[in-house]
Amino acid sequence: MAKQTGIIKLKGTIGGISFYKTTDGHLAREKGGADANRIANDPAFQRTRENGSEFGSAGKGGKVIRNAVRILLQNAKDKRVVSRLTKDLLAIIKTDPVNERGLRTLTDGDFNLFSGFEFNLNGKLGATLFTPFVNAFDRVTGDATLDLAPFSPTLRIAAPSGTTHFKVVMGAAELDFANETSTFENDETVILPYTAANTVAIALTATVTANSALDVIQVLGIEFYQEVNGQMYALKNGAYNALAVVIVDTP
């Protein structure tokens, strides 16, 4: 592919060259490849169809997860979260030892591999929160819990420049990949001052369906704020907020 330069940027197809915009800028490439009908029916493209089917399943699974945690995700995501999510879920689908190639699923794959996924590479939880926490999920009750002992924010949280306040957020999502639905509950602290003084002990709880037969994830995040004339503003529109998967619980 080639990168477009100049004042006027093109979109569309001219003379067999496709012009389009991506996060990497305005690009151009030669149009080519087999037509859709041949890909859909020609036995020579069987592997292509299988790959496409599983890629589509990964994309749908990613949408289920994004929709589930949307309340927190809208404040903590990078520009490539969709593609990164699809890539990781596709790798999980490929661990399915039960179904044939092209029919493998997230449910039958090793979904535990999703633990630790960072929704925002600009503000990773692992490079933001440095105080120990205790978290758990009780499938019988459906309770996801998070506990942090008192800690000094300026010592234990790596905040972006300009931070005056922060908030700890936590959520639990019950994921039904087969029906492309989910349930989600979240809990959060009040907005706390970013100072050297210790916080109080923090205890958060989010509850999903008791005795669920579905995959459940717990996410943990930090949101940053700047106080201006008594008003709290999301720092740099949340560009450095952290959000990551800290528990994956499979039935």
248 has a pLDDT exceeding 60:
yes
How far is it, in rounded angstroms, from Cα 223 to Cα 168?
7
Whether this prediction's pTM lies above 0.85 is answered by: no
pLDDT per residue as tens digits for the range 23-38: 666 666 655 555 566 5
Kindly report, as residue ranges, where domains of CATH 2.60.40 are found in the chain.
125-249
How far is it, in rounded angstroms, from Cα 52 to Cα 142?
35
How far is it, in rounded angstroms, from Cα 168 to Cα 242?
10
Neighbours of 57 (CB within 10 A): 23
pLDDT per residue as tens digits for the range 63-108: 999 999 999 999 899 999 999 999 999 999 999 999 988 889 999 9
Class of domain 125-249 (CATH, top level): mainly beta
147 has a pLDDT exceeding 70:
yes
How far is it, in rounded angstroms, from Cα 206 to Cα 103?
34
